[in-house]
Structure 1
């Protein structure tokens, strides 16, 4: 049985095409769970009337993506658990391709799908997660043409939470998403914890969905800047083994210096505030780190093998500007 979990917050305008696309690819025994994070746009009432098949969980307040996903995962009955963004619209064959990947490789814990930009479906928004030695985690192949995707399945570090199929046994082993992350990088933290426990993730290149990127959080918004800065440090502190952290620390600190300098010069205080917030939580984070690292079964070498060398700062900035240009084109 497959459970589809969709978390929404004031996203009624996206839900009908999202649900129509995914429901057409499900078996009669599969289920769809929509977790409404305290929306005020009439989402819950509309769903109850228009989508009788959907199991609606209406929350009184917004728990963020991480908290909403956890509510849905706990309510789900399936052995396979599909996370799908409310602003993502699966293309033909997407769900079967993800499910087939999990059945063909019973040793893996997750299968990653490919998200493309809704307004530029020939361009990849995410094909799983990639990570660097400076602790930066990014969408794999973001901005590349879909023709550059591999022809066959291949291992990736983790799956983007916008289109990810998880095995229940993996989540029972590593735990659910960290609710304190609220939004952003909670899927990275989960992917790193899965790697620490030896769970692999495969990319299914034919499992694709068009995604309205940053439709909820807003690309470049102060909220997103704060949460990204905070959650980046949280994930590193929680998940990097001591030996890997020691080896990567110069790269991590170099990135932080550049990020803080950029924030000061461009007057983006939210980027700084998020990092300060993470440091304030250091006692809690260190306790969580000890619990996570105590259950690690892979070597430092195996974990570090997923961390790519960081490119020159100018290349990182150029990539960010390229992504922003793609998203700005959506508004015109």
Structure 2
């Protein structure tokens, strides 16, 4: 793992170069799924048409247990219409509010499925909770690539760097591509604040440090968020801001808020929140790289619901 300050210095240099040179900036399309309030992204290099898909959504109806592909097919249509070549399918973390469509997209479009290397900690915790058994590997092998903090990668000619930003979960990552940072479940629009930190392995103090790490990037860095829930008084969904805007305006972590103040606020707020509606199916699928549990003897996959366990 790289030194934290070294990784941020590398990301800062990359962002400054991208801000100075238009050719180093990605083209970004957001796809908002209102059912889960999730934004998926297609990020591509205009020079080569190589692309990454970040945080895709598999449609899932909890009452019937049925999956469908409307959200993923919209991404496929965009990729094909623009003649893009997908090289990466990236997850910022093992989501607790939606199922990933990455395996479906990989089958249709190709690309390497990737997540942060700390996914093994999440697999261990939830593998025990769901009593997943010895056939469930807890080594990240369900993914093609595990990113480490400070690791560099490319989308075509565009430079990218992975940053470990734990707190919401132990495995959360942010991905800086050109002048844009895809921050997953760390921070939301300034009027809504920040992500919760009360899931197994979450930590409000770590989350504060991770967010402040992200907010040490240049002020003009574009931040692309994984969710929006429309703060009170706002009538439209939004999912893009900048580092400077967050530092000035974020209701939870703007400049001047101390770590202890944030931890107290976050802990109290989290204690009032219900679990996400889809946490049980989402986590079971997403720790498997977006794949359903192994079918049983009748050919059907089953989602487990642990009773009185969380």
Common fold by TM > 0.5 = no
The structure richer in helix per residue is: 1
Question: Under a length normalisation based on structure 2, what TM-score does the superposition of the two structures give?
Answer: 0.29
Question: Under a length normalisation based on structure 1, what TM-score does the superposition of the two structures give?
Answer: 0.27
